[in-house]
Structure 1
Amino acid sequence: MMDGHSVPQINCDVKAGKIINPEFMVKCPAGCQDTKYHVYGTDVYASYSSVCGAAVHSGVLDNSGGKILVRKVAGQSGYKGSYSNGVQSLSLPRWRESFIISEGKPKKGVTYPSALTYSSSKSPAAESGETTKTYQKPSIPETTTQPVILTQVPTTTTAKATHTTLPKPSPYATSTTSSPRPRPVGHRSWEPGQWSPKVLLLFLGFVSKEELSTQSLEPVSQGEPNSPATQFNLKTHMNSRDVKAAIESITPRGGLSNVGRALSFVTKNFFSKANGNRHGAPNVAVVIVDGWPTDKVEEAARLARESGINIFFITIEGAVENEKQYVIEPNFANKAVCRTNGFYSLKVQSWFSLHKTVQPLVKRVCDSDRLACSKTCFNSADIGFVIDGSSSVGTSNFRTVLQFVANLTKEFEISETDTRIGAVQYTYEQRLEFGFDQYNSKSDILNAIKRVGYWSGGTSTGAAINYALEQLFQKSKPNKRKLMILITDGRSYDDVRIPAMAAHQKGVITYAIGVAWAAQDELEVIATHPARDHSFFVDEFDNLYKPVPRIIQNICTEFNSQPRN
């Protein structure tokens, strides 16, 4: 123990639940206001919160950091989220432990630990508080991935699959290396004794060890063999023991490999609040398919991604040469996954090798940064640029603005079914440069941006927002996110408040980019709340390139933090 003046330092990402001490003083660094440090609650915070993020939210610290006093208190039955001091805290239904923050002034006669005691993130004993260790940043996020949602698609086998050991195939299936694979009849026939599950879809949710509790499994109707059926949902089990037992009790149902139908079923039913989906946790679907699907997956997968589901695809024993004629949709895995860079798809040579994919898959599913930058995030958006073409901009600077528009556009995958781009230029008047449905490839869009001609005139930003809502976003697809990115170099001649409010009410996420003489108070009115994430200012046009990475990151992070119902 030590006097209250020597205070240990922690990072912004340290959660109160990781620190065992019931009362302690710490020093927080600067920069903990960032949205990636999640906070849950108001005044009283769930211990799953960032300690320093909560300190900024509470007003005890500002974003420059400093000393704080933390005291653990009992868990609450509910935590209410709120926006305070530049931090948006989230709601949480319940948590086992809470903490409160006060100014970093030691109480008279009280000593505080000079070195904090951290719980282990790996040892089972540590989970119950029996062991402690010096804190080390884990190689993967502190949340653990538990399989808490499972849907089975019909298979053509009678064997039982488990997630712990591979079932032993029958001699009928592996008697010689020359044994043919099942004959394609429609898809494939099944013979007694063969172990050849066609499709098993495993859907993962992120669950902290602190949340685990038990619940009994309710009987589930298997239904018609060719239709997807719920085995259990996100709320059914809250610890790994029960999940394991439930997985081991699953029996194959027969039928076809309807992957597309299963993905549609998941999109509509699984990741909903009613079925246990939680605000802020990434939604992940891991699809395991033997051979090939018997229906099309591209459209169903696209709709799943547009609903915020990150899809991983594991293909086992793909079609051999004489079976390829029966594959309905060639290259189906690449059409289904987030990106065709090998991160979201894994090819397994045989069922005997499936266990080798467990660790690589877990690391990928737990890599929240990669998930945040998946195709799910960058796609399924209609992005409308609203560009100030007033006289104060000038021809040279206008070309710099168009380069800024191009730099942002390059980050998205452009097609009719992915991201679409539209643009409006305005002065006193407004002009539609091109609509969402005019160009369907990145090269066409970039060429169209280059061809936009400088107009010159006044600055009626409010009228331009209204025009964009009518001419661009009224024609947006219902299932697309709507993003407006407005660039201006001066104060508007007309009122922007009512048009901005109309944009927000219509669900258009608005980013306001100001240059030179732009009024920052006006940018904050135009921008979607919180303004710090949606309004940006640079002092000169040549610096417009600087906020591009953060704008992209914010678009991405915001999408993945929203609940998908």
Structure 2
Amino acid sequence: PRSTDQDGGHKTPLDIGHTKVEPVDAWKPEANPYESGFSLREPEPAPRAPEPASQGDPNCKVDLAFLMDGSWSIGKRRFKIQKDFLSEVAQVINVGVAGPMMGIIQYGDDPMTEFSLRTHSSSREVKSAIDKISQKGGLSNVGKALSYINKQYFSDANGNRGGAPNVAVVLVDGWPTDKVEEASRLARESGINIFFVTIEGPDDNEKQNLVEANFVDKAVCRTNGFYSLPVNSWFALRKAVQPLVKRVCDTDRLVCSKTCLNANDIAFVIDGSSSVGTGNFRTVLQFVANVTREFEISDTDTRVGAVQYTYEQRLEFAFGQYNNKGELLNAIKRISYWSGGTSTGAAITYAAEQLFSKSKPNKRKIMIVITDGRSYDDVRVPAEAVQRQGVIAYSIGIAWAAQDELEYIATDPDKEHSFFVDEFDNLYKFVPKIIHNICQEFNSQPRN
């Protein structure tokens, strides 16, 4: 925030050398009341048939929220420039139900939804809505606004489509008046791709006024420059339209859409040996279902496969065979107990060949081995081999499982990837821990 333009909050004065000025409320019998300072209710316009929804640009299918700066520091003139910028973005991006959908939040002291993602389905409607936005004033509390979009804005009720990346573009005059780091981290972990357009950002002398140093790098999805557009002057903002649209539509580079819950290929390697027993095997399947239930399942999100093993191995279902969570959970429930010996090493090799060899390159490969006893074959060499292929391995041991083998199977550090439970009925306790560890590992990746 910075001091208001001299003319930011005032209308341009009339040129009195050429214009006769009448008092605004001078009354003449023939005067039009709309020009006299009186306010009359306009007649209700006849209802128009709603225009058919635009399909939009299918090559830019994103759910796009703009956080516009309504703080007093801007002034009316620059606020109008900001509205013109958003209107031009709406025009260029080609809003429509099969392409980008666009919503706007205005923030000052607090954020306020101007319109949601689902409110308008064409660029023309969006531009008309932008024209009606008035400045709300206040501070530049960007952190509060980012928290708002994460918790409330990108919801199904507001038109979040699920299959479209969530993108938030923050427009900020100068710098925020609150901290953005924590709110941004939570938004990123929810799958929101945050861009910053900073207009007239702080110069070296002004940086001492910042609430939070390097606020842009702390907020954006990645710090590689793709997600930040510094603009030197409000009057140059229009030049940012095309570069911004190009970036938000480049869905392959919207990497924050990938979260710990939607970017995995997960293989369950399930011990079906005789020592497990039918009842306990059902408990294991319930555990597998409970873990699976936490993830976003589809062909483009997390995919799940399963192998059951004894001395032999059986592919129960492959990655992508079930791309609907309900169908996947039913498939887990239908797995029939096999019974036999315990060759965990061979099962790991089998999972690598049958499942991970068909993994998508943009997926994190996760293997969860569940066993209740010592393996009849070596587990160390197969486990090392699969981990060299980039697989993150978790081991879940029950009852008679061998601790040394569980540690060989698990990715380092063992304490984060290897778990032991004395009874099958206590398996459920590890579901939150496993999900937490998977997400913690995902979210600790470098952001450059």
- With normalisation by structure 1, the TM-score equals 0.42
- Counterparts in 2 of 1:474 and 1:366: CA distance versus 1, 3 Å: same
Which AA in structure 2 matches 1:468? A
- Counterparts in 2 of 1:322 and 1:487: CA distance versus 1, 3 Å: closer
Name the SS for the 1:376 alignment partner. coil
Say whether 1:410 aligns with 2:293.
yes
The alpha carbon displacement at 1:294 in A equals 3.0
Of the three residues 294, 307, 326, the one matched with 2:94 is 294
Asked whether the equivalents of residues 338 and 344 of structure 1 are also in contact (C-alpha less than 8 Å), the reply is no
**Which residue of structure 1 aligns with residue 121 of structure 2?**
324
Say whether 1:544 aligns with 2:427.
yes
The alpha carbon displacement at 1:499 in A equals 0.8
The alpha carbon displacement at 1:318 in A equals 3.6
The alpha carbon displacement at 1:328 in A equals 11
Of the three residues 518, 537, 541, the one matched with 2:401 is 518
- Counterparts in 2 of 1:380 and 1:367: CA distance versus 1, 3 Å: closer
The alpha carbon displacement at 1:339 in A equals 12
**Which residue of structure 2 aligns with residue 553 of structure 1?**
436
Asked whether the equivalents of residues 303 and 323 of structure 2 are also in contact (C-alpha less than 8 Å), the reply is yes
Q: 1:319 and 1:328 mapped to 2: Cα distance? A: 12
Higher CA-based Rg: 2
**Which residue of structure 1 aligns with residue 275 of structure 2?**
392
Asked whether the equivalents of residues 96 and 121 of structure 2 are also in contact (C-alpha less than 8 Å), the reply is no
Which AA in structure 1 matches 2:384? M
**Which residue of structure 2 aligns with residue 493 of structure 1?**
376
Say whether 1:435 aligns with 2:318.
yes
Mapping of residues 34-433 of structure 1, within 5 Å: 168=8, 293-294=93-94, 315=105, 317-318=114-115, 324-326=121-123, 342-343=151-152, 345=154, 362=180, 365=183, 372=189, 376-433=259-316
Name the SS for the 1:479 alignment partner. coil
The alpha carbon displacement at 1:519 in A equals 0.5
Q: 2:259 and 2:116 mapped to 1: Cα distance? A: 28
Asked whether the equivalents of residues 54 and 122 of structure 2 are also in contact (C-alpha less than 8 Å), the reply is no
- Counterparts in 2 of 1:361 and 1:376: CA distance versus 1, 3 Å: farther
- Counterparts in 2 of 1:449 and 1:319: CA distance versus 1, 3 Å: closer
Q: 1:366 and 1:322 mapped to 2: Cα distance? A: 25
**Which residue of structure 1 aligns with residue 329 of structure 2?**
446
Q: 1:376 and 1:165 mapped to 2: Cα distance? A: 40
Which AA in structure 2 matches 1:555? I
The alpha carbon displacement at 1:293 in A equals 4.5
Q: 2:265 and 2:287 mapped to 1: Cα distance? A: 18
Q: 1:320 and 1:551 mapped to 2: Cα distance? A: 34
Name the SS for the 1:547 alignment partner. helix
- Counterparts in 2 of 1:435 and 1:429: CA distance versus 1, 3 Å: same
**Which residue of structure 2 aligns with residue 40 of structure 1?**
none
Which AA in structure 2 matches 1:294? N
**Which residue of structure 2 aligns with residue 470 of structure 1?**
353
The alpha carbon displacement at 1:563 in A equals 1.7
Of the three residues 339, 345, 351, the one matched with 1:456 is 339
The alpha carbon displacement at 1:295 in A equals 6.4
Consecutive unaligned residues in structure 2, runs of 5 or more: 13-33, 43-52, 57-63, 69-77, 107-113, 127-145, 159-171, 192-257
Say whether 1:504 aligns with 2:392.
no
Asked whether the equivalents of residues 385 and 424 of structure 1 are also in contact (C-alpha less than 8 Å), the reply is yes
RMSD: 5.0
Asked whether the equivalents of residues 265 and 364 of structure 2 are also in contact (C-alpha less than 8 Å), the reply is yes
- Counterparts in 2 of 1:361 and 1:385: CA distance versus 1, 3 Å: farther
- With normalisation by structure 2, the TM-score equals 0.52
The alpha carbon displacement at 1:362 in A equals 3.9
Which AA in structure 1 matches 2:183? V
The alpha carbon displacement at 1:401 in A equals 0.2
Asked whether the equivalents of residues 91 and 123 of structure 2 are also in contact (C-alpha less than 8 Å), the reply is no
The alpha carbon displacement at 1:475 in A equals 1.0
- Decide which structure has greater helix share: 2
Which runs of at least 4 in structure 1 moved beyond 6 Å after TM superposition?
169-172, 175-178, 184-187, 198-202, 254-258, 289-292, 295-301, 319-322, 337-341, 358-361
1:269-324 residue CA offsets vs partner (Å, 9 max, x unmatched)? xxxxxxxxxxxxxxxxxxxx8799536899999xxxxxxxxxxx854544899963
Q: 2:117 and 2:318 mapped to 1: Cα distance? A: 45
Asked whether the equivalents of residues 305 and 319 of structure 2 are also in contact (C-alpha less than 8 Å), the reply is yes
Name the SS for the 1:487 alignment partner. strand
The alpha carbon displacement at 1:171 in A equals 6.4
Asked whether the equivalents of residues 199 and 290 of structure 1 are also in contact (C-alpha less than 8 Å), the reply is no
Q: 1:484 and 1:299 mapped to 2: Cα distance? A: 36
Asked whether the equivalents of residues 294 and 328 of structure 1 are also in contact (C-alpha less than 8 Å), the reply is no
Q: Quick one: higher RCO (CA 8 Å, sep 6+), 1 or 2? A: 2
Q: 2:286 and 2:357 mapped to 1: Cα distance? A: 26
Of the three residues 475, 480, 488, the one matched with 2:363 is 480
Asked whether the equivalents of residues 257 and 295 of structure 1 are also in contact (C-alpha less than 8 Å), the reply is no
Q: 1:551 and 1:321 mapped to 2: Cα distance? A: 36
Asked whether the equivalents of residues 423 and 433 of structure 1 are also in contact (C-alpha less than 8 Å), the reply is yes
- Counterparts in 2 of 1:296 and 1:488: CA distance versus 1, 3 Å: farther
1:489-514 residue CA offsets vs partner (Å, 9 max, x unmatched)? 01111111111111111111110000
- Counterparts in 2 of 1:528 and 1:170: CA distance versus 1, 3 Å: farther
Q: 2:326 and 2:391 mapped to 1: Cα distance? A: 26
Asked whether the equivalents of residues 462 and 496 of structure 1 are also in contact (C-alpha less than 8 Å), the reply is yes
Consecutive unaligned residues in structure 1, runs of 5 or more: 1-162, 179-183, 188-197, 203-247, 259-288, 302-312, 330-336, 348-353
Say whether 1:563 aligns with 2:409.
no
Q: 2:411 and 2:122 mapped to 1: Cα distance? A: 51
Q: 1:482 and 1:328 mapped to 2: Cα distance? A: 43
- Counterparts in 2 of 1:510 and 1:323: CA distance versus 1, 3 Å: closer
Asked whether the equivalents of residues 385 and 422 of structure 1 are also in contact (C-alpha less than 8 Å), the reply is yes
Q: 1:535 and 1:516 mapped to 2: Cα distance? A: 14
